[in-house]
Structure 1
């Protein structure tokens, strides 16, 4: 069956910032979510913020308007290379000499919250309306909780959608992208049959989020009380079998091959999933296919789920300036500020109301990301999750490339998960 186009275009990274304590001056009176112009007899409080890579450079010039509104608060931003971020925070936790404000990748919440690195923001929920605000995407809010406490405020978000070559699909009789698993397999098989070196879909086999996305799409949910038994759920096992089908039938390339943007431009990899950053990469590096590609929600089975990523702003537990830190986080989380940050960095706002912005509404490709964020799921907030996800990738590699029996290998994976969760 060939399908006709009818997609909705309605609008709907992980990064860590460590900030120095900034405790050379007495803390200014703050709170209540209101503008804080001081209250410390004219003395200036300094919040030293370390941000990752290019975003750190962007944030350094971005805070000027905050300082103009808060004349007794200065923000000192230092860019930290991504490779050093995790170790920098470990050092800060161990020494107690850490940041006022942290921009935290969502997958690190459990590890560092469990180590006592962050201030529990639930104690400030009545005074600052950006804490636990349901204007944030639900998936983003989910990753701010750990052990019934709140350890961050969503800043920006990302998610994965389907990128596809409209011209190639149309050549094969498909006027719209696939809408579900059955159609996704049908289109992939059709496109893989074009000849040697041609594939239907591309799967990043190093991406820890891809296998869980397939599971979420099949109705699977992780329940902490069930622990490793989650991985015996038929919904999970069926999703891994579906994932394996693409390799068993040669619909995806087992080896890395050419960069995805090159394969997409050449047409050898006419469908893949990626985040919003890929839009500009394709526009800039593959201008010859302008008008011949589009994006759509990730086709699923029970639901068209994807993963939600991005970063939060958190407060270091040892800060001497909690009110000033929260004033800064409040400012950065305002819808108007998030829109300006999007225009500066092309990262997507975490506040749903920010998506009413005209620029986000008019770019149909970005609007699809807004739709997808409504169906985005947060990975479990567990300190062991990244290791479990890596174990799953290793098991799937043995299944896809080594010919291991799927059921036996997933049983072994479940036992590994049990050991990690014990």
Structure 2
């Protein structure tokens, strides 16, 4: 929401506050997360808690096909998926759950492949470009080869499906650590694990999304000094840890991750590693409209083999260009 609030002129630049602070500095934070708050070299928000996506997988099933660790490359991810499918030899069981109503995996794999999602100062779609098309083609083959389910009605209960081995690999976020611990049966609690995302090359791990929430200053506030002191208070190691213990939101301050709360949590290690490699999505107000209304629409059509990847992404660019029409007008009239 930082780009939206900035576009409305509702939030204050924070560079001067940061320069005078003994508590807040960019080096205290994960670089990809910090970058989500920077617009045109100006900082408008301070990360409060963080979020990203990584791989949840059935450790026991991967071990049964000869893989002691999660896949580290795209090639390994595909190879593991094929082996899982062959192991069960069941048309009603799959390897990799890639929900077509979730835009994140499609954007993540594009970012990993170096795709520029938008172009010309974020004023035109760039999804039909070769790099994004390669990543989209890569994911599409999981549907085409029966490695991923197409019909979302086949997964009415995510946790039951994961427990039953209906799928063994799933990209999701930190909230599902506690959900898996609550919902999976006791006999499976040592049979699943988290891992950073695979990479298109040997540079492991691959990038994921930079998410979370940030603290900002109201531009019209008459009490900016005290509001900034509150932001500093919420950014201390002690309060960041207390906040995590209360609501399980991952801390934004890196030093907090050295606490035994995280170092002794086997599921959290992967999140710390993944947070070292995140990228922000385009920092424009129209981004949510693009991904929620358009990415998912064309992902469903490609997964069902109703449109080729190139046709779908060409149409996606056309729709995105319409969404960004006002942005182009505003840029041209600055």
TM-score by length of 1: 0.71
Alignment of 1:15-414 (within 5 A): 108-130=1-23, 132-193=25-86, 194=88, 195-222=90-117, 225=120, 227=122, 228=124, 230-256=126-152, 257-286=155-184, 287-302=186-201, 303=203, 304-390=206-292, 391-401=294-304, 403-414=306-317
1:313-344 per-residue CA deviation (whole Å, 9 max, x = no partner) reads 11112212111111110010112221221122
In structure 2, the residue matched to 1:58 is none
Deviation at 1:206, TM superposition (A): 2.0
Q: Which moved more, 1:153-162 or 1:231-240?
A: 231-240
Contact 2:105 2:171 in 1 (8 A): no
Cα distance in 1, alignment partners of residues 92 and 21 from structure 2: 56
1:356-415 per-residue CA deviation (whole Å, 9 max, x = no partner) reads 112211112101100000011111111111122231221121111251121122111112
Cα distance in 1, alignment partners of residues 17 and 69 from structure 2: 48
1:128-181 per-residue CA deviation (whole Å, 9 max, x = no partner) reads 345552211111111112244321100110111111111111122222221111
Q: Could you say if the C-alpha distance between residues 223 and 392 of structure 1 is closer, same or farther in structure 2, counting changes exceeding 3 Å?
A: closer
1:253-297 per-residue CA deviation (whole Å, 9 max, x = no partner) reads 112223221111111111111111111111111123011111111
Contact 2:29 2:254 in 1 (8 A): yes
Cα distance in 2, alignment partners of residues 130 and 377 from structure 1: 24
Cα distance in 1, alignment partners of residues 75 and 121 from structure 2: 30
Cα distance in 1, alignment partners of residues 194 and 230 from structure 2: 35
Between structure 1 and structure 2, the one with the greater Rg is: 1
Q: Which moved more, 1:130-139 or 1:252-261?
A: 130-139
Deviation at 1:223, TM superposition (A): 6.2
Give the aligned CA root-mean-square deviation in angstroms: 1.8
In structure 2, the residue matched to 1:11 is none
Deviation at 1:222, TM superposition (A): 4.5
Gaps of 5+ in 1: 1-107
